[in-house]
């Protein structure tokens, strides 16, 4: 590959891909810049896949999953005789192909392609802004649980319309992805989409205890006490001694003024609480309990193999 490079004022070698994106080689390291600000330090070049097998995969992510971490940790550029300069050229080549193919996220690892595409859109790249949502939708439809989980955890789905998100639920077959998405919908008070997620989750795992509890709570938020009771009773048929379900159902009866049914249920519990709160208070105080809560640290600590982000305004 013949690079059209230039020298910057700091002495680094610069390969300019377009007016927003460039790659720099400085102090034996490859750096990606977006609009002349450092975006990422490239620590790993995914180029150890046999050329005869590249076309067997739909994306770099799929190839990475197939070969495992050996591509990154067991075989390094140094092991196959690549100098830092040659590795720089490899990064430039990969990014050039990515740009020439309209930012196709299948051509780079998800941990690089999506954050980079998002940053380009943020700084004014009209093409990136137009393509970002399309790429998120396309990759979600690939049905790769790893990619879907990444898109939910990194909240890239936040850029999609609710109607599009609703359609994408049909492409999820992984329980963990559905749980993560349910937590996101709960945070956004998107109860219609959460209902669809929970029903799909129970279609995959009929005895999923937590899904029943969350579904009952969503019905409660939607003022549908009848369906909330039905779901809780179904759960108690599966788990007759589930104290949390009994307490929840007793609370619903309390909302309806069915004091007798409330007391009858509570008698079955070993450590029952005799404190019943109003409906509004219950919803406000217990929303954290009946949800697939995910520690916020998980969303911040997702690391990618290409390097760490620079912090800048």
Instruction: Write out the DSSP string of 178-229.
Output: HHHHHHHHHHTT-HHHHHHHHHHHHHH-TT-HHHHHHHHHHHHHTT-HHHHH
In a domain, 276, yes or no: yes
- Specify the number of domains making up the chain: 2
Domain extent at residue 124: 102-205
In a domain, 106, yes or no: yes
Q: What is the pLDDT of residues 23-79, one digit of tens each?
A: 998 888 888 999 989 887 555 544 444 433 445 556 666 656 655 554 444 455 555
Task: Verify that 239 and 275 share a domain, yes or no.
Answer: yes
**What pLDDT score does 305 carry?**
37
In a domain, 312, yes or no: no
In a domain, 65, yes or no: no
Task: Verify that 230 and 188 share a domain, yes or no.
Answer: no
**What pLDDT score does 20 carry?**
95
Long-range (24+ apart) CB contacts under 8 A made by 218-227 are: 218/186, 218/191, 218/194, 219/195, 220/252, 220/279, 220/282, 220/283, 221/189, 221/191, 221/283, 221/287, 222/191, 222/195, 225/252, 225/255, 225/256
**What pLDDT score does 80 carry?**
55
**What pLDDT score does 229 carry?**
97
Mean pLDDT value across residues 95-116: 90
Task: Verify that 188 and 232 share a domain, yes or no.
Answer: no
Q: What is the pLDDT of residues 265-294, one digit of tens each?
A: 888 676 555 667 888 888 887 887 888 875
Q: What is the pLDDT of residues 191-240, one digit of tens each?
A: 999 999 999 999 999 999 999 999 999 999 999 999 999 999 999 999 99
Asked which of 205, 227, 243 is the last residue of a domain, the reply is 205
Task: Verify that 196 and 263 share a domain, yes or no.
Answer: no
Q: Any alpha helices (H) in the chain, and if so which ranges?
A: 60-67, 84-100, 110-122, 126-140, 145-153, 162-168, 175-187, 191-204, 209-221, 225-238, 243-256, 259-266, 279-286, 296-300
Mean pLDDT value across residues 88-117: 90
In a domain, 280, yes or no: yes
pLDDT, averaged across the chain: 81
**What pLDDT score does 51 carry?**
37
Asked which of 165, 182, 205 is the last residue of a domain, the reply is 205
In a domain, 311, yes or no: no
Asked which of 181, 205, 229 is the last residue of a domain, the reply is 205
* Contact between 246 and 269 (Cβ < 8 Å): yes
Rounded to an integer, what distance in angstroms lies between the CA atom of residue 56 and that of residue 78? 26
In a domain, 263, yes or no: yes
Check pLDDT > 80 for residue 254: yes
**What pLDDT score does 163 carry?**
92
Check pLDDT > 50 for residue 304: no
**What pLDDT score does 8 carry?**
53
First to last CA, the chain: 35
pLDDT band at 84 (very low <50, low <70, confident <90, very high): confident
- H-helix or E-strand containing 26? strand 21-26
**What pLDDT score does 279 carry?**
86
Q: Which of 60-69, 111-120, 127-136, 209-218 comes out lowest in average pLDDT?
A: 60-69
CATH of the domain at 243: 1.25.40
Check pLDDT > 90 for residue 313: no
Task: Say which residue, 296 or 52, is predicted with more confidence.
Answer: 296
**What pLDDT score does 128 carry?**
96
Share of the chain above pLDDT 90, in %: 49
pLDDT band at 11 (very low <50, low <70, confident <90, very high): low
Rounded to an integer, what distance in angstroms lies between the CA atom of residue 180 and that of residue 239? 24
Task: Verify that 175 and 248 share a domain, yes or no.
Answer: no
Rounded to an integer, what distance in angstroms lies between the CA atom of residue 256 and that of residue 258? 5
pLDDT band at 85 (very low <50, low <70, confident <90, very high): confident
Q: Which residue in the block uniquely carries the two structure tokens 């179904």?
A: 234
């Amino acid at each position: 590959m013949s690079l059209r490079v230039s020298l910057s004022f700091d002495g680094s070698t610069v390969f300019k891909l377009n007016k927003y994106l460039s790659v720099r080689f400085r102090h034996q390291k490859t750096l990606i810049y977006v609009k002349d600000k450092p975006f990422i330090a490239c620590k790993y070049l995914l180029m150890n896949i046999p050329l005869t097998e590249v076309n067997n995969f739909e994306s770099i992510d799929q190839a990475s999953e197939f070969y495992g971490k050996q591509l990154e940790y067991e075989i390094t550029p140094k092991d196959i005789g690549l100098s830092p300069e040659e590795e720089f050229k490899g990064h430039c080549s990969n990014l050039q192909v990515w740009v020439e193919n309209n930012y196709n996220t299948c051509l780079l690892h998800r941990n690089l392609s999506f954050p980079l595409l998002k940053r380009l859109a943020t700084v004014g790249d009209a093409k990136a802004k137009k393509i970002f949502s399309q790429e998120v939708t396309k990759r979600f439809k690939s049905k790769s649980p790893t990619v879907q989980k990444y898109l939910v955890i990194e909240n890239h789905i936040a850029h999609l319309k609710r109607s599009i998100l609703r359609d994408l639920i049909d492409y999820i077959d992984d329980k963990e992805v559905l749980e993560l998405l349910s937590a996101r919908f709960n945070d956004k008070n998107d109860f219609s989409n959460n209902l669809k997620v929970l029903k799909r989750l129970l279609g995959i795992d009929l005895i999923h205890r937590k899904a029943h509890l969350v579904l009952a709570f969503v019905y409660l938020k939607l003022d549908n006490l009848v369906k909330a009771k039905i779901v809780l009773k179904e759960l108690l048929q599966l788990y007759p001694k589930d104290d949390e379900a009994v307490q929840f159902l007793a609370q619903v009866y309390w909302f309806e003024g069915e004091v007798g049914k409330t007391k009858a249920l509570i008698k079955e519990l070993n450590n029952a609480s005799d404190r019943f709160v109003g409906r509004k208070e219950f919803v406000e105080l217990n929303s954290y309990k009946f949800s697939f809560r995910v520690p916020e640290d998980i969303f911040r600590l997702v690391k990618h193999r290409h390097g760490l982000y620079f912090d800048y305004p």
